Each structure stands twice: as C-alpha cells, then as structure tokens.
A and B are shown apart, each in its own frame.
Chain A
Amino acid sequence: MSVAERTVMIVPCSGIGKTYGTVSREAAYEVTEDLRPRSTQLVALSLLVLGDEEARAAVGTHPTITIDGCKLGCAEKMVRESGGEVAEGFAVLDVYRRHRDLKPDGIAELNEGGQQLAHALADEIAAIVDDLASRDEGGHHA
C-alpha cells in the first residue's frame, strides 16, 4: 500500500446509553465524515466483537486509532484481540480533563458541552491521522 493510499481505521466505543460512549462516537463520525473522510474509515466495534473477517482485516492491516468511553477500554482491547495494533488510543475522560468547561451530558442527544468536547476530541484525532497517514509502511515519515 502506498503512502497516498494509507487509510487510518477509527474504532470508537460501542457503549450505547453512555454519555462518554456517545462522545466517542460523535468524534469518530466527525473525523471520518467531515474532517478526514479520505484518509480514515470507521470500523464498528460490534463487528470486531462478532469476529467479522472484513473488520478484523481492516484493523489488522491498517494503522488504527481507538476511542474509549471508559476505563474498560473495550475498543483498544478488541483491536488487539483482533490481531491489530493500536497506533493511538484515546480516552474521552482524558480529553475531558483537559477541557473541564465542556462537561458532557445526555445520551441520544449530547448537550452543548458534550458536542464541543466531541469536536475537541475530533480535532486531536485528526492531527494524529495526519501524522499516521504521512508515514510509510515502516512507520517513517514519507
């Protein structure tokens, strides 16, 4: 795979009904749909849990960023159990600690703080995507 074709996989938390899980998914959507649609691809954690071959192959052959909503770290664990390596692991709680004014609330619909936190997280992820996408297979900058 050439550097230009290098796609970064984004695997967010699947915690349904959890505020921090929702923040992780909103950030993943923003990165994959708006900020870096050409260099990223969303992989549903549930597919990895189910052992989906396509999803396993995706994280097994591409640099992968995980976004976890809690300390259980399901996204990071499942990528590793699926044979992939985590190029960068994000935890929503760590991002919130850096942005205490953006307290998230809500589940189906995040409050303003939660939306802004997801946006801040998405910006941090996009920066990592740019770095990963510019590296060759050996991990060196092109």
Chain B
Amino acid sequence: MPDYLETTVDKFIFRVATDRHYSPEGVWALAVGDRIRIGMTDFLQQLNGDVAFAEVKPEGTLLGTGDEVALIETIKTNVGVPSPLGGTVAEVNPAMELSPEAINGDPYGEGWLALIDARDWPTDRDALLDPEAYFELMTGQAQEESKKL
C-alpha cells in the first residue's frame, strides 16, 4: 500500500501515490520487477468520470513514448491514454475487460492498465515527474478545473 500526497480542491479529494513517476498528462509508471506497470492517476480518473469501457492495446504492441496505449470511454468522454514510456505491451490488466470501473475505485492499485517491457526505462523515468512535482502540477490543474464548475 503506497503512501499518498493528498489535496482537497472544492469538494474533491485528489491523491498522488509517492512510490512512482508521472507524466504531465496524468499517467503513472511504476517499476514492478523488470517491467513497468502503468495506469491513470486519481485526478485523471476523477476528471473524466465513471469508466464504461477500457480498451488497452494488446500484448505485443510496440509503443513510443506518448503513443496511445489505451482508450477509455467514460460517462463524460473518450480519453486517449498516452504511454509514459516506450516499449512493448507485455500484459494487459484482465480487469479492464470485465470490471474497468476498477480504474475509478483503485486507480493506483487494481485499476492498473498494462505492464510494459521498457525499451529504455532509465531515460524515460528521468523525463517523468516525481510525485512532488506531479502533485504540484495536478493541484494547479484541479484548481483550474474547479473554476469551470
């Protein structure tokens, strides 16, 4: 169970897990063994609402950094999820087929999207944000979104 940075904006509570790295678009990456697990941040899932369907690129798909690795259909919109690293899709979370709402219920845990065989993780990791930097960025994004309500 990771520790979290947490902030409240308007009536919403947003959490950032402290054990992984983040893209500015709100996708996290966590080294698990020799692979990298990726998923949507708490902010990104709350921003887009309840997930109806999650289509993750199948195993064997080659990805460049920023390539769309998943398309998430929510009650509000369709979200293309950019990969935070380059590599090959090694495994898709089976929960995405039957219970994609795991993205909403546990974005940093059961709601992970895929495991990636990284092409050059050290380089990609250095280009990502650490938890504190993403927390600051996300807090600003959340405050901007709250003004639209």
Contact = CB atoms under 8 A, between A and B. Distances in A.
Interface string B41-73: 000000001101100000000000000000000
A38 interface: no
A93 B104 contact: no
Interface residues of B, number: 7
A71 B53 contact: no
A20 B52 CA distance: 12
A70 B52 contact: no
Interface string B72-93: 0001000000000000000000
Contact of B52 (A18, A69, A93): A93
Contact of A20 (B53, B75, B101): B75
Contacts of B52: 93, 96-97
Interface residues of A, number: 10
Contacts of B101: 71, 93
A95 to B, nearest CB: 11
Interface string B89-118: 000000000000100100000000000000
A15 to B, nearest CB: 10
Interface of A: 18-20, 69-71, 93, 96-97, 100
